[in-house]
Structure 1
């Protein structure tokens, strides 16, 4: 049994998972609290760290209470080593180290990206998929080989979640429950597909250009922030919904393209979408169309597991702990840069 603590960005999570002797996993609790800023504002590392310090004890107590186990009953304490924002990572790591010393429990440092992948594999039952990892800070196409998650392609500048979040701030959309979710809802009402850059470079993509281009449309004289036409002759108006729709369609098409290229390369018919942006129903739909045309299948989870959470850290940490891995207190550090392909995936053959 493991307690997992996640706090690499604005989501603070604690979860407890139990591995049975027959190999099955049971999620006993999965508690999360989100730091939400006013519309038009992002979250700063210092403020996010303060949020985590304020809520950490409450979130952990709720996780233990829901699971019905005392902290003395867990076998290890897992925490996010990275990647992520420095100050929030350090806040949660400090709590993990304190609990480890107080209750004499082994520590297990976990790669945030691998946590997403392993929780996705566990929940969906995907065997050996091409993984599309899309979140606020990461965009990668990944496949497993020889005890390592190999990165086939990635963003060359900003992550897809960061791209959507920044445009949500331009439109002054609410950050509750998340800016990406509100972009998705507004995109469902879009009717016009605007011309935007489409930048794939081999297996990689670039998103800064498309963000600049879609922001420029908000300065166009045809743009109507309220989405209302001012007359019968004004039929070519541009609305926020049109821009959200256009941004999603272009960015997601780029992601589908590089994912399909990876599928062809390794001969896989499975796609697993993980990370916060993986909750987007339009992305899942577009990926499903591509996969079905290849005779394949898409696997995805809902917001309980695709958005940052403590249970994914517990799952990945417990897999490593069962293989004999633990992290000495003196090496229980954090890092903002911790690539997926730096992890030795000893629990897979």
Structure 2
């Protein structure tokens, strides 16, 4: 059996095809990149997805070397995400479902990241740090649910980094967060920023406001460089994430950590998490994936779609709607013990 997955919850649209054992046969995607200093708006992002998605479907089918008749299901991102882009992709999923006579499976975007990380790395039951442009959560599995142990109480870490990149007028190609990561490597002066951990939750909006005001002042007086600012922001945000992840590990009596989501590609975040595991002498392992699977892609939707389908779950056409709010712990995870 093969499953086709369509992802388009933000500025990336992707189509993936996976086998029933998790083998990824095709995973093309296209990214909507805006000019420096600008974010991506729902309407323009949806138009981008509409322009590219059919070509991606054809490309995925060709790369996989299969016929549509060999597909057992078509998975699509039900949410969370941006409304217009989500709907654009769901419309295509519904069209293909009716055209090919193949059932639909609606997938939670966050669960897609987790299951993609598990199948690629082989991680069994780690604490998951999910960090992306729209989400920041510390997660662990228990009793057929992915339980959220801590999360952001305002904005996601990826959004925080993206907005600071706009302040510095950094390029959005390939992504604002990547360009901040590269600039941070040249930073040497640490600028103390607010450190906001509230129990198991974190807050980023105040840090962003503080560094935005400080950036104008420090750069004007030449007391710090843009590299110093990127370095200081990264170190502060990532230290907060490492702290709440370690606390969740202690609570769950787990030594392994899996990092997923677009920000999870950041090598400094991986390094800091690895140091925490080693210093704590936990004897555990850090699992992470590269940009092929860490960043939004179609395979991460196809795989949980396949898992759900094998458990008898399908989404009726009349229920194949999208929602911008769809929490990770809302999903009944029937494919795990």
Match of 1:211 in 2: 208
**1:73 offset after TM fit, Å?**
1.7
Q: 1:261 aligns with which of 247, 258, 268?
A: 247
* Equivalent runs, 1:238-277 vs 2, <5 Å: 238-277=224-263
The one of 187, 193, 198 equivalent to 1:196 is: 193
Structure 2 counterpart SS, 1:313: helix
CA distance in 1, matches of 2:290, 2:67: 28
Q: CA deviation at 1:296?
A: 1.7
Correspondence list, 1:65-104, <5 A: 65-104=62-101
Residue 210 of structure 1 aligns to a residue in which SS? Answer: helix
Equivalent residue runs for 1:1-349 within 5 Å: 1-19=2-20, 24-220=21-217, 222-223=218-219, 237-293=223-279, 294-349=282-337
Which string of whole-angstrom CA distances, capped at 9 and with x for unpartnered residues, describes residues 17-65 of structure 1? Answer: 001xxxx321100001000000000000000000000001111111111
- Alpha-carbon displacement from aligned partner over 1:328-348 (angstroms, at most 9, x marks no partner): 000000000000000000000
SS at match of 2:286: strand
Q: Distance in 2 between matches of 1:207 and 1:292?
A: 27
Alpha-carbon offset, residue 6 of structure 1: 0.1
With 162-171 and 65-74 compared, the bigger mean Cα shift is at: 65-74
Q: Deviations over 1:157-209 (max 9, x none)?
A: 00000000000000000000000000000000001110100000000000001
The alignment partner of 1:25 has SS state of coil
Output the CA distance in 1 between the equivalents of 2:100 and 2:250. 49
If you compute each CA radius of gyration, which structure gives the higher value, 1 or 2?
Answer: 1
TM-score (norm: length of structure 2): 0.98
| Aligned positions, number | 334
| 2-structure distance, mates of 1:325, 1:302 | 30
Q: Where do 4+ consecutive residues of structure 1 move more than 6 Å?
A: none
Q: Which consecutive unaligned segments of at least 5 residues does structure 2 have?
A: none
Partners of 1:132 and 1:305 in 2: CA distance: 15
Give 1:213 deviation, angstroms.
Answer: 1.0
TM-score normalised over the length of structure 1: 0.95
Q: After superposition, give the CA deviation of every residue in 1:138-166 in whole Å (9 maximum; x if it has no partner).
A: 00000000100000000000000000000
Residue in 2 that maps onto 1:229: none
1:231 corresponding residue in structure 2: none
Question: How far apart are 1:72 and its partner, in Å?
Answer: 2.0
Q: Distance in 2 between matches of 1:164 and 1:262?
A: 24
3-state SS, counterpart of residue 58 of structure 1:
helix
CA distance, structure 2, for counterparts of residue 83 and residue 291 of structure 1: 31
Question: What is the CA RMSD across the aligned residues, in angstroms?
Answer: 0.9
**SS at structure 2 position matched to 1:157:** coil
